[in-house]
C-alpha cells in the first residue's frame, strides 16, 4: 500500500513537472538576409557588392517565457545583430546590441521590461509605415528613426494591454550620471489604434547625448551625410522626433501614409552646425498581394531639412517579393533619390552640396542623385 502511494505521488510530481515545462519555453530565432547590390554612386563612384539586410535585418536571438500563474509571466529577450558578409557584430560590436531585456508580462496589467530596448515609436508607429517593405522605403539617412537605427540602453518600458483597439507604450531611460538626473536621458511614448482594416499611430521620442564624447542612452544616427555629424565626430546635443502614421488594408491592398518631424539640437557650435537642424518628412506607400506567394510594393518619400543647411530629398522605391515558403523569400528592390540644396560636411564645419541617398543603405552619392538595385534572399528560423 505504501509503495503504491509513493508510486502515485511520483506520478503526480512527474505530471506536474511536465505541465510546468509546457508552460515555459526558450526559443532560438533569427533572420538571414543576403543580396547582390548595385549603386550608381556611393561616396565617389559606382559600387557593386554583396550586401545584407536589404529587406530585413540580419539577427539571431534567444527569447523565453515562464508562466508564473494567474496570468503573469516572466519574459526575456537577447538579440544580436551581425554582418552576414564579414561575420562582424552589429551595433558597434555589442554582443546583444539589438535587444537585451528582462521583465514581467500580465494579461490584464500589461508588460514591464528593463534593459536595452526599442523605443515606443519603433514598436507601435513604424510597423504601419512603408519601412515594412525594406530600408529603401525609409527616410534618407533614417533622420527620423523610421528604420529603427536607435536602440535605448538603461531603459524601463511599459506596454499596456489593448483596450477596445487602443494600445499605448511608455519608456524612460536613466542616464546614470551622478549629480545630473536628466543627463543622457531618453523618454518616449506612442499609441496605436486599430479597427478593422484601419490603423492609426502616433509617437514621440526625446534623447540627450550630453555626456563625455556625446554619450547618452539612445544610439546615434550616423548612416550617411543626410544627418549632421554623420562620420566619426560625436554629436553632443539632443534629438526629438514626432511621428504620426495611418494604414488601411482592404482585400489584397495595403495603403500607408506618414508624417514626421525630427530636430537635432547641438549643445555647442560645430562650425556650420551651430543651431537646430529640422527635418520634415512625408511618405506614402502601396502594397499589393498579387497572389498568396507574390507581393508588390511602391513608395514615395519627401524630406525637407532646414536650419544652418537646407536640402530637399525626393525618393521613390519599388519592391517585389516571392515567398518560396513561410520562412524563405526572394526579393528584388530598386530605389532612386534626388537631392537639392546643401547639407553638412562630416565634421560639421562646412556647408556642402547635398548628395542623393536611398534610405539608409549606404554612403550618400557625391552627385545629386543615387540609384540602387538589390536582388536577394531572406531566410527566417
Parent domain of 297: 26-380
Please answer whether residues 380 and 34 qualify as being in contact, where contact means their C-beta atoms are separated by less than 8 angstroms: no
> What is the distance between the alpha carbons of residues 221 and 140, in angstroms, rounded to a whole number?
11
CB neighbours of residue 92 within 10 Å = 9
> What is the distance between the alpha carbons of residues 206 and 224, in angstroms, rounded to a whole number?
21
Q: Cell numbers 483597439 correspond to what residue?
A: 165
Q: Classify residue 48 as exposed, middle or buried by CB count within 10 Å of its CB (0-12, 13-18, 19+).
A: exposed
Instruction: Determine, yes or no, domain membership for 4.
Output: no
pLDDT in the model for residue 166: 98
pLDDT in the model for residue 23: 76
pLDDT in the model for residue 212: 87
pLDDT in the model for residue 13: 34
Please answer whether residues 46 and 69 qualify as being in contact, where contact means their C-beta atoms are separated by less than 8 angstroms: no
pLDDT in the model for residue 15: 37
Instruction: Determine, yes or no, domain membership for 358.
Output: yes
| pTM of this structure | 0.92
Instruction: Determine, yes or no, domain membership for 14.
Output: no
235 by DSSP, 3-state: which? coil
Q: Which three cell numbers stand for residue 281?
A: 518628412
Closest by CA position to 262, among listed 233, 237, 227, 231: 227
How is the chain split among helix, strand and coil, in percent rounded to 5?
Answer: 10, 55, 35
DSSP codes joined into one string, 80-140: EEB-TTT--BSGGG-TT-SEEEEEEEETTTEEEEEEEE--HIIIIIGGGSGGGG-GGGS-G
Instruction: Determine, yes or no, domain membership for 163.
Output: yes
Instruction: Determine, yes or no, domain membership for 34.
Output: yes
Instruction: Determine, yes or no, domain membership for 303.
Output: yes
For Cα atoms 263, 265, 269, give the angle at the middle one, nearest 5 degrees.
145
- Total number of domains in the chain: 1
Instruction: Determine, yes or no, domain membership for 7.
Output: no
Instruction: Determine, yes or no, domain membership for 15.
Output: no
Tell me the pLDDT of the chain (381 aa) as tens digits.
344 333 433 443 333 344 444 479 999 999 999 999 999 999 999 999 999 999 999 999 999 999 999 999 999 999 999 999 999 999 999 999 999 999 999 999 999 999 999 999 999 999 999 999 999 999 999 999 999 999 999 999 999 999 999 999 999 999 999 989 999 999 999 999 999 999 999 999 999 999 988 999 999 998 899 999 998 789 999 999 999 999 999 999 999 999 999 999 999 999 999 999 999 999 999 999 999 999 999 999 999 999 999 999 999 999 999 999 999 999 999 999 999 999 999 999 999 999 999 999 999 999 999 999 999 999 999
Q: What is the CATH number of the domain that holds 174?
A: 2.40.160.10
pLDDT in the model for residue 31: 98
Amino acid at each position: 500500500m505504501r509503495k503504491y502511494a509513493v508510486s502515485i505521488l511520483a506520478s503526480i510530481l512527474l505530471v506536474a513537472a511536465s505541465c510546468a515545462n509546457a508552460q515555459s519555453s526558450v526559443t532560438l530565432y533569427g533572420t538571414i538576409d543576403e543580396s547582390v547590390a548595385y549603386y550608381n554612386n556611393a561616396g565617389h563612384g559606382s559600387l557593386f557588392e554583396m550586401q545584407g539586410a536589404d529587406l530585413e535585418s540580419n539577427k539571431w536571438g534567444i527569447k523565453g517565457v515562464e508562466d508564473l500563474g494567474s496570468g503573469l509571466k516572466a519574459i526575456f529577450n537577447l538579440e544580436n545583430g551581425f554582418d552576414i558578409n564579414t561575420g562582424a557584430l552589429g551595433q558597434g560590436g555589442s554582443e546583444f546590441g539589438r535587444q537585451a531585456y528582462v521583465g514581467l508580462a500580465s494579461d490584464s496589467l500589461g508588460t514591464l521590461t528593463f534593459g536595452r530596448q526599442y523605443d515606443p515609436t519603433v514598436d507601435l508607429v513604424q510597423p504601419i509605415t512603408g519601412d515594412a517593405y525594406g530600408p529603401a522605403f525609409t527616410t534618407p539617412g533614417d533622420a527620423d528613426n523610421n528604420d529603427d537605427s536607435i536602440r535605448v540602453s538603461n531603459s524601463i518600458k511599459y506596454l499596456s494591454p489593448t483596450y477596445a483597439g487602443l494600445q499605448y507604450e511608455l519608456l524612460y531611460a536613466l542616464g546614470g550620471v551622478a549629480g545630473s538626473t536628466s543627463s543622457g536621458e531618453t523618454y518616449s511614448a506612442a499609441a496605436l489604434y486599430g479597427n478593422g482594416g484601419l490603423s492609426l499611430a502616433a509617437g514621440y521620442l526625446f534623447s540627450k547625448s550630453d555626456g563625455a564624447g556625446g554619450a547618452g542612452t539612445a544610439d546615434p544616427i550616423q548612416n550617411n551625410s543626410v544627418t549632421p555629424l554623420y562620420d566619426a565626430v560625436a554629436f553632443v546635443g539632443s534629438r526629438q522626433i514626432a511621428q504620426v502614421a495611418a494604414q488601411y488594408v482592404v482585400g489584397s491592398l495595403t495603403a500607408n501614409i506618414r508624417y514626421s518631424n525630427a530636430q537635432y539640437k547641438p549643445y555647442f557650435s560645430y562650425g556650420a552646425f551651430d543651431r537646430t537642424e529640422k527635418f520634415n518628412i512625408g511618405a506614402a506607400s502601396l502594397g499589393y498581394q498579387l497572389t498568396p506567394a507574390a507581393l508588390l510594393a511602391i513608395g514615395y518619400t519627401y524630406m525637407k531639412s532646414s536650419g544652418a543647411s537646407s536640402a530637399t530629398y525626393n525618393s521613390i522605391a519599388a519592391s517585389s517579393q516571392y515567398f518560396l515558403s513561410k520562412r524563405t523569400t526572394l526579393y528584388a528592390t530598386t530605389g532612386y533619390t534626388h537631392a537639392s540644396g546643401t547639407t553638412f560636411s562630416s565634421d560639421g564645419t562646412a556647408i556642402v552640396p547635398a548628395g542623393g541617398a536611398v534610405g539608409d543603405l549606404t554612403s550618400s552619392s557625391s552627385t545629386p542623385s543615387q540609384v540602387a538595385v538589390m536582388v536577394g534572399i531572406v531566410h527566417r528560423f
